[in-house]
Structure 1
Amino acid sequence: MNPEARQEALKRRGLTETQDGFELTVQGFQKASRRAQDLRKHGDAEAVRTLALSPEDPLRWEYCRCIQIEAFTAEARASGI
Structure 2
Amino acid sequence: MHDERRQDALQRHGLTETQDGFTVTVAGFQKAGQRAQDLRAEGNEEAARMLALGTTDPVRWEYARCLQIDAFSKEAHESGF
**Residue matched to 2:33:** 33
In structure 2, the gaps of 5 or more residues are none
In structure 1, the gaps of 5 or more residues are none
Deviation at 1:33?
Answer: 0.3
**Equivalent position SS for 1:54:** coil
Give the residue type in structure 2 aligned to 1:18. Answer: T
| Pairing 1:78–2:78 present | yes
Deviation at 1:80?
Answer: 1.6
Deviation at 1:79?
Answer: 1.5
User: Where in structure 2 are the equivalents of 1:1-80 lying within 5 Å?
Assistant: 1-80=1-80
Question: 2:80 & 2:35 partners in 1: Cα distance?
Answer: 24
TM-score by length of 1: 0.97
4+ long deviations beyond 6 Å? none
TM-score by length of 2: 0.97
RMSD: 0.7
Sequence identity of aligned pairs in percent? Answer: 64
Tell me the alpha carbon deviations over residues 23-72 of structure 1, each in whole angstroms, 9 at most, x when there is no partner.
Answer: 00000000000100010001001001000000000000000000000000
